Structure 1
Amino acid sequence: MSTTDIPRRAGVPARRERRRSRAVSRGDGRAAALFLAPWFAGLILITAGPMVASLYLSFTDYDLLTPPEWIGPENYTRMFADPRFLNALQVTFTYVLVSVPIQLALSLALALVLDKGLRALPFYRSVYYLPSLLGGSVAVAILWRQVFGADGLLNQFLAVFGIEGQGWVSHPDYALGTLVVLNVWTFGSPMVIFLAGLRQIPQMYYEAASIDGAGRVRKFVTITIPLLSPIVFFNLVLQIIGSFQSFTQAYVVSGGTGGPADSTMFYTLYLYLKGFGSLDMGYASAMAWFLLLIIGGMTAVNFLASKYWVFYDD
């Protein structure tokens, strides 16, 4: 055997190992693709496909019964000449801008109370979280209608003190307020997130502040809020998105009409009425994409503004 054959033969096992490694990698890739196939199928057929179809339909006149007819951006221009659309936009923005801050303030206050080490804390967490699980259900919306109805529990309670109530859900000035209260009542989810964030704040900061003579308010303003600001930002974004998508409460409480006098005509409810009530699916699709732009714009504003008030503990 010549000396030149030794390196050549020594390299054979290395080449075989590389081929074996590539074969194993290909096999792992096929297995991963096989397991991911249902997810990709769902993404294409259930999410991406309908989104593309909706975008196309937003430029058409489509009544679900006849083939869609291309009309260009007419649906988008119609929206701003539609008084009910503008009213739905105003009602929804009012609902979001009023209910979200109150809900976050209430959930943070309760999280601060529960963070004090109460006995049976898991029980209280479960009780307070329960409304978040039920708040979007039809049953709770029906219950809410009964509570704020003319003969509801609220008026019965007021009658004990000699106060004459009214049909809160049937009065244009108060109907939206009942839905705001319903949304605020579902504070459990942000409260639990706030509670988890409070548990992550090191106690040494509070101890150092106590040594310096800081009171509770000072500690809350200078320690709790800055260190909890990422959690506040997270809850704020989620609750704004969820509030813009609210539908069930308004549909059930108003009987599916957005009344009285369109005072509870949420954006999503009007979208539903146009798409499935009037069979104007092209217009409804345009509304859906405009809502996406609104939510995206609100989220972008929050992210841009977050650099001025959200602080991350490095």
Structure 2
Amino acid sequence: MTSTRSLPRPSVAKPRPAMRTRSLLASRLPVWSMMILGLIGLAVFFLYPLLANLYFSFTNYDLAGAPHWTGLRNYVYLFTQDSRVGKAALNTLWFVVILVPVRMVFSLGIGLLLSRRKTARGFWRTVFYLPALVPPVASVVGFVFLFNPGTGPINAVLRHLGITGPLWFNDPALSKPSLLLLGLWMAGDVMVIFLAALLDVPKDQYEACELDGANGWQRLRFVTLPNIRPVLLFSAVTGVIAALQYFTEAAVASMIANGKTGIDAGTDQLLGYPDDSLLTYTQWMYVQGFNSFQLGYASTMAVVLFLIAAAVMAVLLRRAGLFTKAQG
């Protein structure tokens, strides 16, 4: 009986570490070459301003001379001594809590109506979207004119009906609700996004609900809303970011209602009219930075706003379950 010996296995040459590195670099070079411009733009226009703003927030800087290190003095002043920043923060919070949800609900309602309309569908979509194309400054000027308590057409119609019209933008209690009406009139941009999402909801799910005897509210709750959940999240995130940076509409409304037409040396007194009811956080930050030339303090306000916005975004994304899904 002949003995058999196992034949030696052919040796396979392993690639050298240097060859693996060159191969890896060669495969990733096209990717990095296409991303390099974006990365440069991110570093120049985001990372550098962010780090510079963080540094200036610990200094006394007025653009005329070199910044002087002051430590936490700006932060202490912001949270303990600035008498108008609290009112500005509350007004900004009002726009975040009231304006954003109301705009979303209104836009969703209009989108639902337009998605079910069969006749003149394009006409009505155009009608509701056109106001979003109007520049914000022109929209505010038009609204302040319409709601002028003395000569505006709205109060003129109310007087014709025997009703005493309110002061609208000249009343501290009605100035923010007046801007809310403006926000609803310009909600066409959000409406279009919702409309596209609604038209993409599978029809067979609606048919299955109808066969099960579901009513309109149940179809909305169990079919429509779950299917457009990513769009709802996108609208909420972008809406909150825009509300935290709310500036143009409130500033223009304050100045036009106060009879002013431009930004001058008295901007800190003009913004927020009437009675600081329209003074937002970003307006007060602008006044401190470019009217009072306290760039260090304005940078402190910007850092706090960035941290608040990041925290709000984290809460929204956490509530949406994106973090848990990514971890899973």
Give TM-score, length-normalised by structure 2. Answer: 0.80
In 2, Cα distance between the equivalents of 1:207 and 1:91? Answer: 45
- How do 1:79-228 residues align onto structure 2 when only pairs under 5 Å count? 79-81=78-80, 82-134=82-134, 137-150=136-149, 151-228=151-228
Amino acid aligned to 1:279: F
2:47 corresponds to which residue? Answer: 48
- Displacement, 1:271? 0.7
- Displacement, 1:107? 0.5
The verdict on how the C-alpha distance between 1:26 and 1:204 changes in structure 2, with shifts beyond 3 A counting, is closer
In 2, Cα distance between the equivalents of 1:213 and 1:202? Answer: 18
1:287 aligns with 2:312: no
Q: Secondary structure at the match of 1:80?
A: helix
Unpaired segments ≥5 residues, structure 1: 1-18
2:248 corresponds to which residue? Answer: 248
1:63 corresponds to which residue? Answer: 62
Asked if 2 retains the 8 angstrom alpha-carbon contact of 1:59 and 1:71, the reply is yes
Q: Secondary structure at the match of 1:173?
A: coil
1:270 aligns with 2:269: no
Unpaired segments ≥5 residues, structure 2: 1-18, 256-269
Q: Secondary structure at the match of 1:83?
A: coil
- Displacement, 1:26? 5.9
In 2, Cα distance between the equivalents of 1:143 and 1:270? Answer: 25
Amino acid aligned to 2:58: F
Deviations 1:97-139 (A, max 9, x none): 111111111101111111114334333323322223336x211
Deviations 1:55-84 (A, max 9, x none): 111111111212111111211121112221
- Displacement, 1:292? 0.9
Deviations 1:231-289 (A, max 9, x none): 22221111111111111001111115111111000111111111111111111111111
In 2, Cα distance between the equivalents of 1:33 and 1:268? Answer: 37
1:9 corresponds to which residue? Answer: none
- Displacement, 1:33? 6.4
Amino acid aligned to 1:47: F
- Displacement, 1:227? 2.3
Amino acid aligned to 1:189: D
Amino acid aligned to 1:59: F
Amino acid aligned to 2:64: L
The verdict on how the C-alpha distance between 1:195 and 1:173 changes in structure 2, with shifts beyond 3 A counting, is same
Asked if 2 retains the 8 angstrom alpha-carbon contact of 1:111 and 1:195, the reply is yes
In 1, Cα distance between the equivalents of 2:131 and 2:240? Answer: 18
- Displacement, 1:213? 1.8
Asked if 2 retains the 8 angstrom alpha-carbon contact of 1:88 and 1:270, the reply is yes
Tell me the C-alpha RMSD between the 2 structures: 2.6
Deviations 1:151-173 (A, max 9, x none): 22221221221112243111111
Asked if 2 retains the 8 angstrom alpha-carbon contact of 1:237 and 1:302, the reply is yes
Amino acid aligned to 2:319: A
In 1, Cα distance between the equivalents of 2:288 and 2:61? Answer: 11
In 2, Cα distance between the equivalents of 1:225 and 1:34? Answer: 41
Amino acid aligned to 2:75: Y
2:274 corresponds to which residue? Answer: 260
Asked if 2 retains the 8 angstrom alpha-carbon contact of 1:103 and 1:185, the reply is no
In 2, Cα distance between the equivalents of 1:77 and 1:132? Answer: 41
In 2, Cα distance between the equivalents of 1:46 and 1:222? Answer: 43
- Displacement, 1:203? 1.1
Q: Secondary structure at the match of 1:124?
A: helix
Amino acid aligned to 2:145: Q
Tell me which moved more, 267-276 or 170-179.
170-179
Asked if 2 retains the 8 angstrom alpha-carbon contact of 1:254 and 1:264, the reply is yes
In 2, Cα distance between the equivalents of 1:40 and 1:209? Answer: 48
The verdict on how the C-alpha distance between 1:145 and 1:32 changes in structure 2, with shifts beyond 3 A counting, is same
- Displacement, 1:225? 2.0
Give TM-score, length-normalised by structure 1. Answer: 0.83
Asked if 2 retains the 8 angstrom alpha-carbon contact of 1:194 and 1:231, the reply is yes
How many residues end up aligned between the 2 structures?
A: 288
1:229 aligns with 2:243: no
In 2, Cα distance between the equivalents of 1:100 and 1:196? Answer: 20
In 2, Cα distance between the equivalents of 1:277 and 1:148? Answer: 30
In 2, Cα distance between the equivalents of 1:221 and 1:293? Answer: 34
- Displacement, 1:86? 0.8
The verdict on how the C-alpha distance between 1:209 and 1:55 changes in structure 2, with shifts beyond 3 A counting, is same
Amino acid aligned to 2:61: Y
Amino acid aligned to 1:86: G
